Amino acid sequence: MHLCQPFKALVLAMALMMASGVDINKHEENMNSCPVIQCCAPGTNGLPGRDGRDGKEGPKGEKGDQGEGLRGLQGFPGKAGPQGTKGDQGPQGEKGQKGESATFDSLQRQVTALEKNIQTLQADISRHQKFFSFRWVKSVGKKTFMSTGTKDSFENGKSLCTKAGGGLACPHNHAENTALREILKDSEQAYLGMSDVQTEGKFLYLNGRPVTYTNWETGEPNNDENEDCVAMYDNEKWNDIDCSNSEMLIICEF
Ligand code: GLC
Ligand code: CA
């Protein structure tokens, strides 16, 4: 080992001082303050030291240019905004084509005519509905007998037939009597349009004229317990009977 001259001298001095009893610790400071590099020739390089601490944060950089990334998808439409204020009145429109009002009048006339036709048809339908609501129909000569199948008293029967536009059935001859009989089912009886309510024993048609044709059952009319009305049996024969019997079939004539 090669030692430099000053260091060699120091070693010698220390050895001398130790030998002479001098405390070398007092001189230790002086020894440490002596840089080794200054004391000897440079040796081989040591291992690299540890990385130093991070420096202070640098100043904020300038804003960069706008990037050119891909454009995103369009978002959903937003909510409708509030209603705007009413605009000014627009300019007057162009004059309409001539003749339009005439066409409208014509249409209105046609509509009115159609409405009238509908009313007439409705009335006809109503009349025919009443006509065909009868269960039995029998025509003889100019007369038609019809029944709804209703059984009722003399007064109610008269009312029903009058409302239907006819009258309570009343045969004026043998042909009509037979036709009327054909409407009756077995054991059924029907009121006839006549009575002797005004004068006992004097039968009159509903128009007040005296009865000209009769077909009494044997022994009738007997005015049994004051009978003022007349009913036909299912054998074509007649019997005077109580006017309030509600089991008589009502047959009308038209
Ligand atoms: C009998 C009598 C008849 C009378 C009737 C009254 O059938 O023969 O004359 O009108 O009873 O329900
Ligand atoms: Ca009788």
Mutate to test the pocket of ligand 1, among 192, 241, 242, 246 (most ligand atoms within 8 A of CB): 241
Residue 70 structure tokens: 């891909």
In a domain, 44, yes or no: no
Q: How many Cβ atoms are within 10 Å of 95's Cβ, its own excluded?
A: 6
The answer on pLDDT for 4 being more than 90 is no
In a domain, 188, yes or no: yes
CB-proximal residues (5 Å) to ion ligand 2: 222, 224, 227, 239-240
Interatomic CA distance for residues 217 and 251, integer angstroms: 20
In a domain, 230, yes or no: yes
In a domain, 66, yes or no: no
Q: pLDDT-derived band of residue 135, with 50, 70 and 90 as boundaries?
A: low
CATH code for the domain of 167: 3.10.100.10
Interatomic CA distance for residues 171 and 175, integer angstroms: 8
In a domain, 14, yes or no: no
Cβ of 222 closer than 6 Å to ligand 1, yes or no, is: yes
Interatomic CA distance for residues 40 and 121, integer angstroms: 142
The answer on pLDDT for 99 being more than 70 is no
Give residue 228 CA to ligand 1 midpoint distance, Å.
Answer: 12
For residue 190, which of 220, 150, 160 has the smallest C-alpha distance?
150
Structural domain containing residue 243: 130-253
Give residue 143 CA to ligand 1 midpoint distance, Å.
Answer: 29
In a domain, 226, yes or no: yes
Q: pLDDT-derived band of residue 57, with 50, 70 and 90 as boundaries?
A: confident
Q: Percent of the chain, pLDDT > 90?
A: 53
- Model pLDDT, residue 128: 79
In a domain, 123, yes or no: no
Strand locations in the chain, DSSP E? 136-140, 143-152, 167-168, 190-195, 204-205, 229-232, 238-241, 248-253
Q: How many domains does the chain have?
A: 1
Residue with tokens 């998808």: 73
Interatomic CA distance for residues 116 and 110, integer angstroms: 10
Assessment of whether the complete model's pTM goes beyond 0.75: no
The answer on pLDDT for 113 being more than 70 is yes
In a domain, 121, yes or no: no
**Closest ligand relative to 223 C-alpha:** 2
The answer on pLDDT for 78 being more than 90 is no
